[in-house]
Structure 1
Amino acid sequence: MTPGRHTARFRPPPGLANRHVQTLLPRLLPCREPTLAWEELPLPDGDVVELAWVTPSPEDATAPLLVLFHGLEGSVDSPYARQLLTAAGNGHRALLMHFRGCGRRPNRRPRAYHSGDTADAHWLLTRLRHRYPRAALFACGVSLGANMLLKLVAEDRANVLGLGGAIAIAPPVNLAASADTLERGFARLYQRHLLGALKAKVASRLVTGELPLSLTPADLAGFTTLREYDEAVTAPLHGFDGAADYYRRAAAGPLLGGIRLPTLILHADDDPFMPVDLYAGVELGPGIRLETARHGGHVGFVEWRDGRLDSWLARRVADQLTAWSTSLSRARKAISRSGS
């Protein structure tokens, strides 16, 4: 993988290049539903995250392993999650980690999750490294999960986690600018959808008094932007001094210059969740390959292939995982031969 800035080899089908069409098309694509096995992973603070494993899994203990982190209010049921897990499941042990409260049951502690919340992912990856010590370990994040993953990789400069590579799909590396973008034009419909899901989840916990917030259900119902929600809910729940402080401290953009781990970032210039100049002036570390497409929308990238609409994202991720796995396998064999 050659680091630096590159043009993605994505071409939208004729007539389907519009950013909103691309963003919404994945919901219409047929996709095989992966068979899942569920696991609750206890966390150090007494909470849990729910893991969804693709089954059957490879019997070989050295089979490469992929961990997927979803986007804001996503889950294993999100179209991109099904597509990516299905593609990666061919030869890989694959699972999705649900952020707190995004699985089948509410989480236990009086908190939720956010774009810079790397501790749970770090805990999971550490446990997986101990569980599968001979397997190559890869991670992929989508949107919010992609920003979180980039921040995690930047924090783990020595790669104590032992990752073989990371893939970040549509990461909002400038959280404040992305919040501004979602308040304009058609993007407000996406904001309304996301905000509705967040508010519905918090409303019931406000009624029961579970959350340490000076907020009434009426206050919550009156929020019309994600910035208002982050100011009143996300920030105080997770130790930030307001939304601006949260956006500044959780954004991965300022940290990208220090990343040396092989890291693929996939971005579309027309992503309606982000400003057009998202990566202007952003320093990329020596391990980063940024592939930018003119079109693709937000986590869209739907192409015409073999006579039907299909996910270019799933194909690109599968190709990268295969390349990394092959390279690591060859390196291990070379080391084994030299030591024999």
Structure 2
Amino acid sequence: MNLPPLHTPRWLRNGNIETLYAKTLQQPPPAYRRELLPDSTGQTLTAYDFIDSPNPDAPLVVLFHGLEGSSRSHYAVALMQAVQAKGWHGVVAHFRSCGGVPNTAPVFYHSGDSPEIGFMLATLAERYPRIYAAGVSLGGNALAKYLGEQGRSAIPQAAAVVSAPVDLTAAGARFDHGLTRLLYTRYFLDSLLPKARATGFHADLLNRCKTLGDFDDAFTAPLHGFADRHDYYRRASSKPLLPHITVPTLLLNAVNDPFLPSIALPNTAQVSPQVTLLQPTCGGHCAFVSGRGRGSLDWMPQTVLSYFEQNA
């Protein structure tokens, strides 16, 4: 497999600093064409932001975003700009409540919602005969779980799973302590809590949430049929399903990702032969800044699209 090397600037080799710095390299989003389409429950609409190729026969790259992400997230913009430059179709498929579209369904979205991934891919497969799928962070774990569950029935011709917390128990423990809790918890809770309160589900418990683990115990787990957050993390993690993936899949994780301890990263014995592990020393979480000077976000899109081309 011939993939471009990652050249992280020497001054940017701390996982937290790189994760936060990557957002300063944000480019303006492309001119998306938005469609609002039903989710799998049929009780709410979700946003699909498309990039249309002038070539109707070009493949489609679908991106599943991370926790509280959207088509305007820095990694989504970088990937969709690269898709557009290549002349392919692209779409960012938003989970319920994301992308500025209110959720009216009785459920939310979560790291293990592989049925929703399957529904979105089936919706897109009605229009596009050739689909490549990329998932980042939460969306990456859900995509990997879908690929492992579906095996040869999976829709994408190839896939890329980027910065995914494939071991949610390990990621959950990381988020409950230290710098990861200090730097990121409030950012996510400030976005999640108003949406969760709007459902009216466990409003009293939500008011007491101090960590993402608290949120998962109070909201995510009980709303979606899990006993508690520990049951949710165990059953929603994609790592046990990685040996069952039959679609060519790039699994990209930085060793210094602050969201997942390196000891939890899978090795070659824990994945199928169809999974290519790429674990650069640096990259942070959804960052992968490369190049000279201030650097750029080009490496991840170039790597993902090169992988897709080599597995066409």
Normalised by the shorter chain, which TM-score bucket? Answer: over 0.9
SS of aligned partner of 2:169: helix
Go from structure 1 to structure 2 and tell me whether the alpha carbon gap of 1:296 and 1:323 turns closer, same or farther (over 3 Å shift): same
Q: Of residues 140, 146, 157 in structure 2, which corresponds to 1:164? A: 157
Paired with 2:231 and 2:11, the residues of 1 have a C-alpha distance of 41
Aligned pair 1:26/2:22, yes or no?
yes
Q: TM-score, normalised by structure 1?
A: 0.85
Paired with 1:279 and 1:16, the residues of 2 have a C-alpha distance of 22
Q: Deviation per CA, 1:187-224, whole angstroms, max 9, x where unpaired?
A: 11212211221112212332xxxxxx3x234x312211
SS of aligned partner of 2:46: strand
Residue of structure 2 equivalent to 1:11? 7
1:52-63 matched pairs, under 5 angstroms: 52-54=49-51, 57-63=52-58
Equivalent pair of 1:65/1:137 in contact (CA under 8 Å): yes
Identity of counterpart residues, as a percentage? 37
More strand by proportion, 1 or 2? 1
Q: Shift of residue 113 of structure 1?
A: 0.3
SS of aligned partner of 1:268: coil
Paired with 1:160 and 1:181, the residues of 2 have a C-alpha distance of 31
Q: Of residues 34, 42, 51 in structure 1, which corresponds to 2:48? A: 51
Paired with 2:4 and 2:90, the residues of 1 have a C-alpha distance of 25
Q: Deviation per CA, 1:147-190, whole angstroms, max 9, x where unpaired?
A: 000001111112352x2100000110110110101122211121
Equivalent pair of 2:162/2:251 in contact (CA under 8 Å): yes
Q: Deviation per CA, 1:216-265, whole angstroms, max 9, x where unpaired?
A: 34x31221111111111001111111111111111000110111210001
Paired with 1:238 and 1:18, the residues of 2 have a C-alpha distance of 36
Equivalent pair of 1:8/1:293 in contact (CA under 8 Å): no
Paired with 1:155 and 1:14, the residues of 2 have a C-alpha distance of 40
Residue of structure 1 equivalent to 2:147? 153
Q: Shift of residue 308 of structure 1?
A: 5.1
1:75-86 matched pairs, under 5 angstroms: 75-86=70-81
Equivalent pair of 1:41/1:51 in contact (CA under 8 Å): yes
Q: Deviation per CA, 1:30-76, whole angstroms, max 9, x where unpaired?
A: 5242001111112342232210112xx22333201100000001111
Write the letter of the residue equivalent to 2:192: L
1:234-313 matched pairs, under 5 angstroms: 234-279=220-265, 283-305=270-292, 309-311=295-297, 312-313=299-300
Residue of structure 1 equivalent to 2:67? 72
SS of aligned partner of 1:33: coil
Q: Shift of residue 103 of structure 1?
A: 2.1
Residue of structure 1 equivalent to 2:101? 105
Q: Which blocks of at least 5 consecutive residues in structure 2 are unaligned? A: none
Equivalent pair of 1:159/1:261 in contact (CA under 8 Å): no
Residue of structure 2 equivalent to 1:176? 169
Write the letter of the residue equivalent to 2:38: P
CA-atom RMSD in angstroms: 1.9
Go from structure 1 to structure 2 and tell me whether the alpha carbon gap of 1:190 and 1:126 turns closer, same or farther (over 3 Å shift): same
Write the letter of the residue equivalent to 1:197: S
Equivalent pair of 1:9/1:293 in contact (CA under 8 Å): no
Which structure has the larger Rg? Answer: 1
Q: Shift of residue 8 of structure 1?
A: 8.1
1:314-333 matched pairs, under 5 angstroms: 314-324=301-311, 328=312
Residue of structure 2 equivalent to 1:196? 190
SS of aligned partner of 1:269: coil
**Aligned residue-pair number:** 307
Go from structure 1 to structure 2 and tell me whether the alpha carbon gap of 1:112 and 1:105 turns closer, same or farther (over 3 Å shift): same
Equivalent pair of 2:59/2:128 in contact (CA under 8 Å): no
Paired with 1:45 and 1:172, the residues of 2 have a C-alpha distance of 26
Q: Shift of residue 266 of structure 1?
A: 0.8
1:125-136 matched pairs, under 5 angstroms: 125-133=121-129, 136=130
Residue of structure 2 equivalent to 1:210? none
Write the letter of the residue equivalent to 1:275: P
Q: TM-score, normalised by structure 2?
A: 0.93
Residue of structure 2 equivalent to 1:338? none
